[in-house]
Chain A
Amino acid sequence: METLNTKVNEVKTSKTVKITGAEAVIKCLLAEGVDLAYGYPGGAIMPVYDEIYKYQDQFHHVLTRHEQGAIHAAQGFARVTGKVGMVFATSGPGATNLVTGIADAQIDSTPLVCITGQVGSHLLGSDAFQETDIIGISTPVTKWNYQVTKASEIPEIIAKAFYIAKSGRPGPVLIDITKDAQFGELDYSYKKCEKVRSYKAVPKLNIEKVKEAAELINSAKKPFIVWGQGVILGGAEQEFKKFIEKTNIPSACTGLGLSALETAHPLHVGMVGMHGNYAPNVLTNSCDVLIAIGMRFDDRVTGNLATYAKQAKVIHFEIDPAEVDKNVKTDIAVIADVKETLTKIMQFVDKGEHKEWMTAFDKLYQIEVNEVINDQLNPTKQGLTMGEVLGGINKETNGDAIIVSDVGQHQMFAWRYANFVKTRSNVTSGGLGTMGFALPAAIGAKMGAPDREVVAIIGDGGYQMTCNELGTILQTKAAVKIVVLNNSYLGMVRQWQELFFDKRYASTEMVSPNFVKLAEAYDIEAVKVSKREDLAGAIKTMMASKEAYFLEVVIEQEDNIFPMIPTGASVSDIRLS
Chain B
Amino acid sequence: MEENKNFTVSVYTENNIGILNRLSAIFLKRHINIESMTVSKSEIEHVHRFTFVVIVPETLIRKVVLQLEKQIEVIGAYYHTEDEIIYHETALFKISSEHLYDDKIQDKMKFRRAHIISITERWFVIEASGLKEDIDNMYEKLKPFGLLQFVRSGRIAITKPKMAISEILAEIN
**A198 and B18 in contact, given A7-B173, A321-B66 (Cβ under 8 angstroms):** no
Chain A residue nearest in CB terms to B29: A140
Q: How far apart sit A321 and B70, CA to CA, in the bound complex (Å)? A: 8
Give chain A residues whose Cβ lies under 8 Å from the Cβ of B18.
135-136, 139, 145-147
A195 interfacial contact with B, CB 8 Å: yes
**B75 in contact (CB, < 8 A):** yes
- Chain A positions within 8 Å of B, measured between CB atoms, are 4-5, 7, 135-136, 139-140, 143-147, 164, 195-200, 320-322, 325-326
State whether B72 touches A198 (Cβ < 8 A): yes
A195 contact from B16, B75, B173, Cβ within 8 A: B173
Q: Contact flags (1/0) for B9-23 with A, using CB distance below 8 Å?
A: 000011011100110
Contact A4-B173, Cβ < 8 Å, known A139-B22, A198-B73: no
- Cβ 8 A contact of A144, one of B17, B67, B69, B72: B72
Taking the closest CB of chain B, its distance from the CB of A267, in whole angstroms, is 32
Q: Say how far B63's CB is from chain A's closest CB, in angstroms.
A: 6
Q: How far is the CA of A144 from the CA of B21 in the complex (A)?
A: 12
Contact B63 A322 (CB under 8 A): yes
| Residue numbers in B under 8 Å from A147 (CB-CB) | 17-18
Interface centre among B13, B29, B66 (most CB of A within 10 A): B66
Q: How many residues of B contact A (CB 8 A)?
A: 25
**A140–B172 contact, CB under 8 A?**
no
Given contacts A4-B46, A140-B25, A140-B29, is CB(A195)–CB(B172) below 8 Å? yes
Within 8 A of A (CB), among B45-78: 46, 62-63, 66-67, 69-70, 72-75
A139 to B169 alpha-carbon distance, docked (Å): 24
Complex interface: chain A residues within 8 A of B63 (CB): 322, 325-326
Nearest-Cβ distance from residue B6 to partner chain A, whole angstroms: 22
Whether the Cβ atoms of A197 and B172 lie closer than 8 Å is: yes
Question: What sequence of 0s and 1s flags, for each residue 162-173 of chain B, a beta carbon within 8 Å of any chain A beta carbon?
Answer: 000000010111
Quote the shortest CB–CB distance from A176 to chain B (angstroms): 10
* Known contacts A4-B46, A5-B16; A322 and B21 CB within 8 A of each other: no
Q: Which residue of A lies closest to B170 (CB)?
A: A197
Complex A-B: 5 CB contacts under 8 Å: A136-B18, A139-B18, A140-B29, A196-B72, A321-B70
In the complex, chain B residues 143-173 whose Cβ is within 8 Å of any chain A Cβ: 169, 171-173
The answer to whether B17 touches A143, judged by C-beta atoms less than 8 angstroms apart, is no
How close is B169's CB to chain A, nearest CB, in angstroms? 6
Q: With a CB–CB cut-off of 8 A, which chain A residues contact B171?
A: 200
Smallest CB-CB separation from A145: which chain B residue?
Answer: B18
Q: List the B side residues contacting A198 at CB < 8 Å.
A: 13-14, 72-75, 169, 172
Distance to closest chain B CB from A171 (angstroms): 10
Would you give the shortest CB distance from B22 to chain A, in whole angstroms? 5
Q: Return the chain B residue nearest A143 by Cβ.
A: B72
Cα-based distance from A144 to B74 in the complex (angstroms): 11
Q: Which residue of A lies closest to B26 (CB)?
A: A140
- In the complex, the chain B residue whose C-beta lies closest to that of A149 is B17
Output the residue of B22, B72, B73 with the most chain A CB within 10 A: B72
Complex Cα gap A392–B144 (Å) = 83
A136-B21, A147-B17 given; A199·B66 CB < 8 A: no
* B129–chain A nearest beta-carbon distance, Å: 32
**Contact across chains for A197 and B169 when beta carbons are under 8 A apart:** yes
In the complex, chain A residues whose CB is within 8 Å of the CB of B169: 197-198
